[in-house]
Structure 1
Amino acid sequence: MGLVNIIKEIGHTEVFYAPKAGRFCKGLALLWATMASVQIMGFISVDTFLPYIGLCLVSILYCLCDGSVQFKGRYVFLYLVFLFNVLVLPIEPCFNSKLRFVQFLIVTLACSACISSARAIIFRRYVFRYALMYICILSIGSFFAFFLGVNYMQVGTQLGLAEYSSNGGTFGGLVNHSMTLGPISMISALAFYVIYQNNNSKIFIVLFFLSAMSAVMAASRSALLGVAVAILFSLFFMKSNVNGNKKRIIIILCISALVAMPIADRVFAGVLNKQEQRKEQGGALSSRQSKFDCRIDEFMKSPLLGVGFVSVDPNGNDEYNPVTGQVEPGTSHLAVLSMTGLLGMFAYTLLLLNAYKTSKRDNSLNAQFVMLLLVAMFTHAWFEGYVLSAGGFLSMTYWMIVGQNIDCKYITEHTL
């Protein structure tokens, strides 16, 4: 099968499907997905933040220019809770919580499912489609970059193949950081995993393997856990399509294991070394335990409203940049709890449950795919704190996946 035929076959799968749309819709979606993806491309050093936010605003206006626009109540509730948080709490000015809330509002209004109309849903689907294409290309390309000695992660560029293959967390491949390569490889692997369940071509086993190995090379334990949890979820909790042929799942895992054997000593060295280092430091999760403890302590101090949107307790044990206000929560879900309290966590949980239940009721391949992505990203977000950091690619991807789960019913109804 030629490369062109492979690309065409991938593009025609339900995983990448999008309803018919006009050129402006497709062009705007492609431009936005490109601008967002450039943020994580290590080989392009351009600041795209302002153009990215500008495209979000243009996208919102485009989606609103429809006669049948409605707003999802759960999103509105979430926004009101967060707005109340930043207006009422005495948050340190360095955290710029009001500005960060506006940024969060703009990005999620554009990429998630708050704005409900045919135009908005189709537009978001194309953004998802194009972003998924970039994710797959960067993930697969990073596999080959590993053996070519190409590493665009800034802290790892001075290391050779032998060094970053045995120093976990220093390989980013074509991406600017290993902590980004891990989750995008997780998404790419699940895309080809789902496609293979409904396609006889063995090329999708290969693409699954390449993507999964990129997560291994990035030494991302949370991304590998996300893939494992999603596959187990498909085995035990899905009724059709993805788990319709368990023999295929066994095949894809066995072949991947066999293919990995000749290169296992090299590609697994980083993640094994990283795990060993964490054990020596006090436990397999020691790199996150202190962050977890800080988030729980903050919640105990202010259980109802939290310590403030995208902020930490300045008198607590966690570190933050006092100039820029940048924080590293270490965990997204506990960050929502500690920063916005029980009220914010309640609104956040309501929204996630709605996304899950919507796709759970739909047996289409697309619905099951985006549900697997939701399961994987939800798992991964326990160990990385990007959910409320709306300027980043992973935050956009997370909220876009939540939105795709809510939108899946419309996409199913309009699938050719």
Structure 2
Amino acid sequence: MAVQEQVYGFFIPSMTLIGIGASKHIPEKIKELGGSKPLLVTDKGVVAAGICKQVTDLLDAESMPYVIYDETVPNPTDKNIEDGIKLYKDNNCDSLITLGGGSSHDCGKGIGLIVSNGGKIHDYEGVDKATKPLMPYLAVNTTAGTASEMTRFAVITDTSRHVKMAIADWRITPGIAIDDPVLMAGMPPALTAATGMDALTHAVEAFVSTIANPMTDACAKEAIQLVSKHLRKAVANGQDLEAREGMCFAQYLAGMAFNNASLGYVHAMAHQLGGLYNLPHGECNALLLPHVEEFNLVANVDKFVEMAELMGENTEGIAARDAAELALEAIRKLSADVGIPATLMELGKRYGKEVKAADIPTMTENAQKDICKFTNPRLATDENIAEIYTKAL
């Protein structure tokens, strides 16, 4: 019997350090990459929490010069990229350290992309549009969710269109990633919940992706189990380093999964909520996740049954379709337990925004243009997407 040719690529960073104390190796690792004067890209929250000083103290101890860019916003913008590029060039930096969650990493990737390749960030929306590698780049993670410290993805808001531009390019993958639970211990419960549910979303979407393979499935399944085991504990007690470390591994494995199997309509739709209303990405994902997966369930019932079991549901003696529904229930229970709002209107009120039904056609149109949609397990019409938004509203 003839076998159809199929080759799988697998994207990973060249080195990753995970565990208590991993951040102590920052100076030596940026030197190993070839950096001597990094631009440190972070945000005001990381600075205010004292986390940035923990890192700069390490650099100071090695007499390494650096420049700090701390203006990154929760949904990083094209203006962030422009300002960071100017600071990098004006100070003759030769390398990059990103410190924070997905926002800082995505912002740093955008800065590095343009410094190395030229043009504007808008030129790189889409897949593999860069032609040159980035400068030496080390990513230090302070949240357990986005996995942006090790992926080939960046999402930047186009402030003129109010749309999130999704960039997927293997050249923007950090050379070294560091995940130290000690740096995450002070993360507040709401942020812990949002980033943790982001990690779960990555794992779930990768698990049911149309280009999933045995390697991505292995990563996704372990990530789903780890989030189910550790997220509630990490939200309840941020100083629980065992739970924090468990979430480090969970989000990293979820990143390995979606870095290679990509995502789906949860992200395609969440990007529109972030771009239009500037709502937090993790909470948008968490809220949309059960609605989108309810739509997707018929496309791969067996995987949803397995997902239910991974999340601790008892499926013994239950019909497959009913067992698959338990996965959706488990997602909803976890989301509620960690304090995620139940509706988009509630989420909007939390942040002083009004999510409007009148905006659904625009969000639907833009979601259908998002690159994340292409690996969703079930094809969706505009009417399907609009209905999901309406249910979540």
Q: More relative contact order in 1 or in 2 (CA 8 Å, sep 6+)?
A: 1
Query: Is the shorter-chain TM-score for this pair beyond 0.5, marking a shared fold?
Result: no
- The normalised TM-score by structure 2 is 0.35
> Relative to total residues, which structure has the larger helix share, 1 or 2?
1
> Relative to total residues, which structure has the larger strand share, 1 or 2?
2
- The normalised TM-score by structure 1 is 0.34
